């Protein structure tokens, strides 16, 4: 579903991501871990086209040029961020609908000559938006401004927006950050449900137990390079991984 080859990101003389290659199969849930400064978020930004990067990227065997977020989105990849990117002045349903925009029958010509078709398209978008809010438990707050949400609710709202966009691949940067234990358990159930529905997930997180319970495979970065890739129990027992987190004796 997703394949990256020799992805590299430089900031001046600093190599943040150094020739990273990996693949994610359709329906797979893969976690990415590593110490602070190992290049996890920078790697996600490169894949999503938000950083200038070298290397190559394929989605479903379709080659994509790095640095083009519009092409990545069109190929079916959506992203959530380390800090929830929600719009406080919009309602929850309006936030969610941002990922469902469509130019089908839109614009002035659509309003004049294809109004029924335009209304049907908008109705489908709204139905998808409410279904996404219901899935994350925010349907009762659909018409309320996002400014009144708690931090955890902002996190779920961003996930609902991604779900409404119907991605084939969902890339998440520390989705459990800032969540309490109950919220983290709810998030775990939500992501397992998305996986069961066939969605492909690539998840960066610092909560090792959360990733161990969610992911079938873990990729470990250190100083911008992959040092381990495999099943969670095998990876977290790897001496190189232990030393990356704890240092050597």
Q: Which of 166, 189, 208 is the last residue of a domain?
A: 166
Q: What is the pLDDT of residues 90-117, one digit of tens each?
A: 999 999 999 887 655 556 666 666 667 7
Q: Which of 102, 131, 166 is the last residue of a domain?
A: 166
Identify whether 81 is part of a domain. Answer: no
Whether residues 8 and 65 share a domain: the answer is: yes
Whether residues 141 and 199 share a domain: the answer is: no
Whether residues 123 and 181 share a domain: the answer is: no
Identify whether 155 is part of a domain. Answer: yes
Give the distance between the most distant pair of CA atoms in the chain.
Answer: 74
Whether residues 161 and 171 share a domain: the answer is: no
Whether residues 160 and 191 share a domain: the answer is: no
Whether residues 8 and 71 share a domain: the answer is: yes
What is the chain's mean pLDDT, rounded?
Answer: 91
pLDDT number for residue 109: 64
Whether residues 173 and 211 share a domain: the answer is: yes
| Phi, psi (degrees; rounded to nearest 5) at 166 | 50, 60
Global pTM value: 0.89
Answer yes or no: are the C-beta atoms of 176 and 130 closer than 8 Å. no
Whether residues 113 and 171 share a domain: the answer is: no
Whether residues 71 and 173 share a domain: the answer is: yes
Whether residues 71 and 16 share a domain: the answer is: yes
Identify whether 115 is part of a domain. Answer: yes
Domain that holds residue 22: 1-76+167-249
Whether residues 199 and 228 share a domain: the answer is: yes
Whether residues 179 and 218 share a domain: the answer is: yes
Q: Could you state, in chain order, the average pLDDT of each consecutive group of 10 residues for the chain (249 residues)?
A: 95 93 96 93 94 94 90 92 93 93 62 69 87 95 95 96 94 94 95 94 94 95 94 92 78
| Separation CA 152–CA 89 (nearest Å) | 18
Identify whether 229 is part of a domain. Answer: yes
Looking at the structure of the chain, the number of domains it has is 2
């Amino acid at each position: 579903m997703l394949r990256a080859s020799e992805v590299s990101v430089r900031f001046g003389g600093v190599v943040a991501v150094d020739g990273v290659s990996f693949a994610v199969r359709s329906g797979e849930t893969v976690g990415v871990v590593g110490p602070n400064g190992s290049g996890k978020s920078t790697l996600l930004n490169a894949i999503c086209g938000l950083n200038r990067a070298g290397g190559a990227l394929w989605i479903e065997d379709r080659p994509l040029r790095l640095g083009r977020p519009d092409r990545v989105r069109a190929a079916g990849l959506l992203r959530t961020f380390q800090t929830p990117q929600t719009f406080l002045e919009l309602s929850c349903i309006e936030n969610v609908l941002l990922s469902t925009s469509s130019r089908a029958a839109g614009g002035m010509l659509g309003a004049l000559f294809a109004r029924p078709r335009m209304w049907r398209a908008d109705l489908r978008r709204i139905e998808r938006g409410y279904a996404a809010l219901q899935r994350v438990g925010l349907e009762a707050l659909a018409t309320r401004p996002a400014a009144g949400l708690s931090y955890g609710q902002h996190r779920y709202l961003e996930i609902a927006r991604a779900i409404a966009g119907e991605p084939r691949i969902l890339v998440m940067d520390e989705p459990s950050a800032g969540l309490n234990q109950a919220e983290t358990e709810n998030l775990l159930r939500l992501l397992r449900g998305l996986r069961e529905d066939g969605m492909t997930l690539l998840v960066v997180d610092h909560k090792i137990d959360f990733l161990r319970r969610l992911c079938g495979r873990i990729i470990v970065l250190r100083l911008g390079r992959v040092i381990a890739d495999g099943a969670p129990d095998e990876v977290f027992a790897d001496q190189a991984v232990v030393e990356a987190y704890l240092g050597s004796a």
